[in-house]
Amino acid sequence: METEAFRVISTTTIQARSCLINGDLRQQIDLNPWDLQYLVFGYAQKGLLFHKPSSSSSLKHTQTVIQHLKDSLSCTLDFFQPLAGRLVIVPNGGDDTLSSVFISCNNAGVSFVHAIVDNTTIADILEPTCVPPVVKFFFPLVTSKNFEATRIPLMAVQVTELVDGIFISCSMNHCVADVKPFWNLLNTWAQISRNGLNHVASDLKLASFERWFPHDNIERPIRIPFKKIMENYHKESTNSLQSPQFSRRIFHFEKDKLADLKAKVKSEVQDGVISNKISSYQAIVAHVWRSVIRNQNLDPEEEVTYIFHVSARSRVSHPPIEDNYFGITVHFSTVTMKVRDLVGDGGRGRFALEMNKMVSSYTEERIKRDFEAWVQNPTMHEQSAIIGKSMRSSSCPRTNFYAIDFGWGRPKAAPGGPANKMMWKLAVDAGAEEGSFDIELCASYEILEALGRDPEFMHVAAPPPPTELSSKVARTRL
């Protein structure tokens, strides 16, 4: 796709209509360790591909659609007002070794980009085996890092017109939210768009941006060695080798196939008690990770590491994390195994067992202990990895982006953006059909092709559509 075919029509700043948060003029939101650990990461991104509104819709004209989305976004920001703010980084002390980082609720606004891509249809996006390169142009703030939000918006959306479709994407500062609140924001915007600006649902609640802390004795805002963090970040960026080119492919796993896979993985788990606790998510990750390693023909004695998130949302109760909490709640965790143990007979069960044990180890006591330890010694997670020997998880299948409807039907696809993809990465999301999963795998083209030819791997994935089906009814994802 020629970049000249992609054109930005306009960039607008959208502000919240009101400056009140829970009735108060709150000026500052202090970030906690869960938020601050993402400072050197890129923005979180999600996209939704829709058919254009039909001729029977009141929003049939493009300019009407764009203005309606702007107006409904402004209304939505009333419920998520800190997203219209900016980060503030304030040096503490005369030597600038420590700094405080917080959100200023100044209603500076979010960015709204309207763009057009010529001669591109929904079929051009859905039919290729791998995510087409043009999709990277559909997302704003692709190369931005979270710490840059002192001068750029905490959130940006982009609406890109295709010949027969509309692609709505959102880039959100990853210090502000993980996948559940991200979904909540998009779903609320869609609900307001669908129901009309004057019919906001009475049960819509303001998101809670007040950060969770285990007790009141932690000094706020937290002071971190920001200058040193930036020096290390720039040093690593300068010294790191250029990452190889990756492709992205989305594999679809139907509900029944997932149930069969889960049963097989559970049968491989030797511990009967833990076997009953293996989740569909753990089973699918075990299946994908084992297949990725098996198709690389690595030394059996080498160690490979899988990095994943463990959410604290349901694991702490004193104080609890409210359901409308808008912030990061995840811990980074790892499972390291020798190649022979992962790819051998029963390897999926061994991996799922270790993953489950690691998740179970995150008790409320451990979460609070790790939280306070970070305050005493702030550390940033590196994004680099040994190519092919380490992979990282993102997203969550408990949040179904296919359920988001702006008023002209459910999305045809829900891909992630290109940010944070300069490594091997696996995103697991809910699929369009109830109980199904979509996994977006970022890897070398050769590995993605090998997986597509791997009978053991593809036995669980949905088969390709019959060749006689037209592109309009093809079931392939991006």
DSSP assignment of 394-456, as one string? E--TTS-GGG--SSS---SB--B-STT-SS-EEEEEE-SSTT-EEEEEEE-HHHHHHHHT-HH
E strands, 85-154, where? Answer: 86-92, 98-104, 110-117
What is the phi/psi pair of residue 156, to 5°? -140, 140
Tell me if residue 459 is catalytic: no
Q: CA dihedral in degrees (16, 20, 21, 24; nearest 10)?
A: 160
Sign of the Cα pseudo-torsion (212, 205, 41, 112, in order): negative
Joined together, the tokens standing for residue 157 give 């959306």
Identified catalytic residue from 114, 174, 252, 331: 174
Q: How crowded is residue 171: how many other Cβ atoms within 10 Å of its Cβ?
A: 28
Query: Catalytic site residue 118?
Result: no
**Dist CA 76 CA 92 (whole Å):** 35
The active-site residue, picked from 30, 71, 260, 405, is 405
Kindly list the distances between the CA atom of residue 343 and the CA atoms of 181, 388, 397, 466, 478, in Å, as whole numbers in the listed order.
Answer: 36, 14, 25, 32, 28
Residue 293 near residue 336, CB atoms below 8 Å: no
Please enumerate in sequence order all residues whose Cβ is within 8 A of that of 428, keeping only pairs 6 or more positions apart, or say none. 281, 284, 285, 393, 395, 396, 397, 437, 438, 439
Distance (Å) of CA 86 to CA 10, 32, 110, 148, 351: 22, 16, 10, 9, 41
> What is residue 164's DSSP assignment?
S
407: CB partners within 8 A, 6+ apart:
53, 57, 59, 190, 193, 194
CB neighbours of residue 18 within 10 Å: 13
Catalytic residues: 174, 405
